[in-house]
Amino acid sequence: MLNKINEIIAEIVGREYQIGQSYFMEEGLDNRALKRVLSYEIIPLLEQYFFGKKERLEQLRQICNRALTSLSRE
What angle do helix axes 2-12 and 54-73 make, rounded to 10 degrees? 170
Instruction: Give whole-number Cα distances, 63 to 10, 14, 55, in Å.
Output: 16, 19, 13
**74 or 12, which is more confident:** 12
Structural domain containing residue 63: 2-73
Number of domains in the chain: 1
pLDDT exceeds 80 at position 35:
yes
pTM of the full structure: 0.83
Please report the pLDDT score of residue 74 as a whole number.
61
Determine the average pLDDT of the residues in 27-51.
91
